[in-house]
Amino acid sequence: MVIVLKPKAEEREVEKIKRKMEDLGCETHESQGENYRLLGLVGDTSRIDPDLIEANRNVEKLIIVQEPFKKAHRLFRPEDTIVQIGDRTIGGRKLAVIAGPCSVESEEQIVGIAEEVKDAGGTFLRGGAFKPRTSPYSFQGLREEGLELLKLARAKTGLPIVTELMSPDLVEKFVEDVDVIQIGARNMQNFDLLKEVGKTDKPILLKRGMSATIEELLMAAEYIMSEGNEKIVLCERGVRTFEKYTRNTLDLSAIPAIKKLSHLPVIVDPSHAAGLWWMVEPLAKAAIAVGADGLMIEVHNDPDNAKCDGKQSIKPERFKSLMSTLKKIAPIVNREL
């Protein structure tokens, strides 16, 4: 960080700023430019609140040289993080494919889909039990019963289960029952929830908020990591733009950007990005081509009658053919499926 001081900054005030920065653990280096006086800060600036510096009447502006996240930063850990989930991994050479319905609807539905996902080569089963619906009158999920059905599908197929947690009250139950805890787009900045899952050692799938910047997504990961849990998988699931044709706009550029900024694995959810089943395949292929570590795809046996997100769900047959196409793309980008 470089603090640019006002030309007429009072000496007494400058000394106060310097002392404050040193108390926070940073060295200060002063230099006098032609018009401005500069105060360079060296060391761990993560405890410095930029707003407090900028609010100071003697400060002209603040130049931030480094990103505000630390544990999630690639500088902190240059090699890629590989998250281990039982005998599977996310990150590294092998691609992860998390597939299943938007929500768990019945035993027959979730077990049937889980078997098809497994046969096609999917590596994880998804299914919402607690659903974050825009309307309180829409299907809210089978809740605890949904978790039980997911466990049953896991027992029958061996697929680890990924499901969304919405409330800090259920953290313990999720730690016990599921393999990967999903934090949804709507809760990406629910800081209490992030801190609670940060205290566990469960792998966390953190989805990008629908209007969150890449930096905000990485700061959300930092919240979890700051509590001790470093097993995080990020997920790009589209952001809100002026475009209405698709549900969201898939930000494919986020993948190389995140790979440059962070060591954490990142996957893509083309289903929630496009909101249209027929766009899932082209976007999934593009995601792998730009370097995503995997995919999250909504698969439903009867999309016309799905309780949630049928419009963006592909049928098991299509999932199978998508998987065989992805198997051909993977080696081109030095991955395997």
Binding site for ligand PEP (CB under 6 A): 102, 128, 132, 164, 184-186, 207, 237, 269, 272
- The distance of closest approach from Cβ of residue 214 to Mn ion in the complex, given in angstroms and rounded to an integer, is 22
Contact 298, 275 (CB under 8 A): no
Q: Which does 293 bind (CB under 5 to 8 A by kind): ligand PEP, Mn ion, none?
A: none
> Measured from the CB atom, is 225 or 273 closer to Mn ion?
273
Q: In 3D, which of 115, 131, 188, 124 has the Cα closest to residue 164?
A: 131
Q: Are strands 204-207 and 180-183 parallel, antiparallel or unpaired?
A: parallel
- The distance of closest approach from Cβ of residue 24 to ligand PEP in the complex, given in angstroms and rounded to an integer, is 36
**Interface residues toward Mn ion, by CB under 5 A:** 102, 309
- The distance of closest approach from Cβ of residue 235 to Mn ion in the complex, given in angstroms and rounded to an integer, is 12
221's CB contacts (< 8 A; 6+ apart) are: 69, 72, 206, 232, 234, 262, 264
- The distance of closest approach from Cβ of residue 127 to ligand PEP in the complex, given in angstroms and rounded to an integer, is 9
- The distance of closest approach from Cβ of residue 185 to ligand PEP in the complex, given in angstroms and rounded to an integer, is 4
Q: Which does 86 bind (CB under 5 to 8 A by kind): ligand PEP, Mn ion, none?
A: none
> Measured from the CB atom, is 5 or 273 closer to ligand PEP?
273
Q: Which does 132 bind (CB under 5 to 8 A by kind): Mn ion, ligand PEP, none?
A: ligand PEP
> Measured from the CB atom, is 259 or 272 closer to ligand PEP?
272
Local structure of residue 193 (DSSP, 8 states)? H
> Measured from the CB atom, is 182 or 262 closer to Mn ion?
182
For residue 172, the one-letter residue type is E
* Secondary structure (3-state) at 103: strand
Per DSSP, what are the bridge partners of residue 90?
83
Q: What strands lie across the sheet with 27-32, from one edge to the other? A: 27-32, 37-42, 2-5, 59-63
Question: Among all residues, whose Cβ is closest to Mn ion?
Answer: 102
Whole-angstrom distance, CA of residue 100 vs CA of residue 179:
15
Q: Which does 237 bind (CB under 5 to 8 A by kind): Mn ion, ligand PEP, none?
A: ligand PEP
Question: Among all residues, whose Cβ is closest to ligand PEP?
Answer: 184
> Measured from the CB atom, is 53 or 114 closer to Mn ion?
114
> Measured from the CB atom, is 77 or 186 closer to ligand PEP?
186
Q: Is 8 exposed, middle or buried (0-12, 13-18, 19+ CB in 10 A)?
A: exposed
39's CB contacts (< 8 A; 6+ apart) are: 2, 3, 5, 14, 17, 18, 21, 28, 29, 30
Q: Which does 9 bind (CB under 5 to 8 A by kind): Mn ion, ligand PEP, none?
A: none
